[in-house]
Structure 1
Amino acid sequence: MKKPSAHEYPVDSFFARYINLVDTENVTGLLRQQCAIVESLFKNLTVAQQDYRYATGKWSPKEMLGHMIDTERIFMYRALCIARGEQQSLPGFDENGYADTAQFSNQSQQQLLQHYGFVRQSTLALAESLTEEALDRIGTANGSPVSARAFFTILAGHERHHLTILAERYGLK
């Protein structure tokens, strides 16, 4: 799947921040690569590393992984709705509220990694099932017009953003 063109999302939107982090036209290939990177990175973390916070109020790596899982589900729900022609505006979500409610720190690293893998496989299956016509459809999410295709690139950029934080703030590579 290729990246969305400029007419598929507002170039000055929240979404553009993540789309601009993707430097390939092979978005599904990148999503596959990122899955392997995330699984490799997280499977070797010690308990201390899993729960470490670089600053007060920041998520631990384990909580960040949980956030990435939730976000992927939400982005793919939006992609599915738009691909199917949904005309209702899709709401945003409070990522901090979701993370607080989920209590990811109470889940094992193994559980979270398994969950992540299942969600990513579902994402890839959805990507492969959608026609170009479905990917091109425009809907509204967070008050902005956006295509179904854009959400796959937004997801890849969102994950790249968090992998960069894990490398820079936690020393995890």
Structure 2
Amino acid sequence: MIRKPQAGEYNEFYATYIDKVEGDNIIKALREQLSSFTAFMSGISEEASEYAYASGKWSIKELLNHINDTERIFAYRALCIARGDKTPLPGMDQDTYQSASPTKTRTFSSLLEEFVAIRTATLFLFEDMPESDSLQVGTASGFPVSVRALAAMIYGHCAHHTDVIKQRYL
């Protein structure tokens, strides 16, 4: 089991994501979110996925692509740190990633299938990870971060954007 991280294991910027994890079992939360998020997003049509609530804001489809990209990056960071790699890991400019993405030519349903594949891979990464590996700390975006904090950030980032979709898009 990977437990929720403690303050000091991550940059305070990510506290809003980490605070979204209910309970202490991050793997359980990630697994439940796979089902609930997929069911929620499955209720959005291809046409509705193109909607952006304001000029200059991402569409729902672009938000889903962003969730996918971010989960991949957070999981990669977790893998590197868990395996003892001490290389400082770079940050990401979400707008640069989004503008370079082929999201506009993809279907919403294909992006949702991709989410399922990414989350399934993320769960495989964390499910058999020894607790000692989840406590490893490395550097990402210029700040110390633990593996278990990254696992919680994956959950919280997706939960944050789910809330944004519910509040501003639907």
Structures share fold, TM-score greater than 0.5: yes
**Identical counterparts, % of pairs:** 40
The residue number in structure 2 matching 1:111 is: 110
Instruction: Please provide the CA RMSD for this pair.
Output: 1.2
Deviations 1:82-136 (A, max 9, x none): 0011111100001111111113121012211111111000000000121111111
Gap runs ≥5 in structure 2: none
Q: How far 1:19 moved relative to its partner?
A: 1.0
Residue of structure 1 equivalent to 2:59: 60
Does residue 1:23 correspond to 2:18, yes or no?
Answer: no
Q: Equivalents in 2 of 1:65, 1:110: separation in Å? A: 10
Aligned mates of 2:128, 2:47 — CA distance in 1: 40
Distance in 1 (CA, whole Å) between partners of 2:77 and 2:147 is: 7
Aligned equivalents of 2:119, 2:20: Cα separation in 1: 19
Please list every run of 5 or more consecutive structure 1 residues that lacks an aligned counterpart in the other structure. Answer: none
> Is 1:43–1:109's contact at 8 Å kept on the other side of the alignment?
no
Q: How do 1:1-173 and structure 2 match up within 5 A?
A: 1-10=2-11, 13-171=12-170
Q: Please report the TM-score for the alignment, with normalisation by the length of structure 1.
A: 0.92
How does the TM-score come out when normalised to structure 2? Answer: 0.94
CA contact (8 A) 2:82 2:147 kept: yes
SS in 2 for 1:146: strand
Q: Which runs of 4+ in 1 moved over 3 A?
A: none
Greater displacement, 28-37 / 89-98: 28-37
Asked if 2 retains the 8 angstrom alpha-carbon contact of 1:3 and 1:153, the reply is yes
Q: How far does the alpha carbon of each residue in 1:61-85 deviate from its partner, in whole angstroms, 9 at most, with x for none?
A: 1111111010000000000000011
Residues 137 and 146 in structure 2, CA contact (< 8 A), matched pair in contact too: yes
Q: Given that residues 22 and 29 in structure 2 are in contact (C-alpha distance below 8 angstroms), is that contact kept between their aligned partners in structure 1?
A: no
Q: How many residues align?
A: 169
Deviation at 1:47, TM superposition (A): 2.6
Contact 2:46–2:107 (Cα < 8 Å) also in 1: no
Note if contact 2:77-2:150 (Cα within 8 Å) is conserved in structure 1.
yes
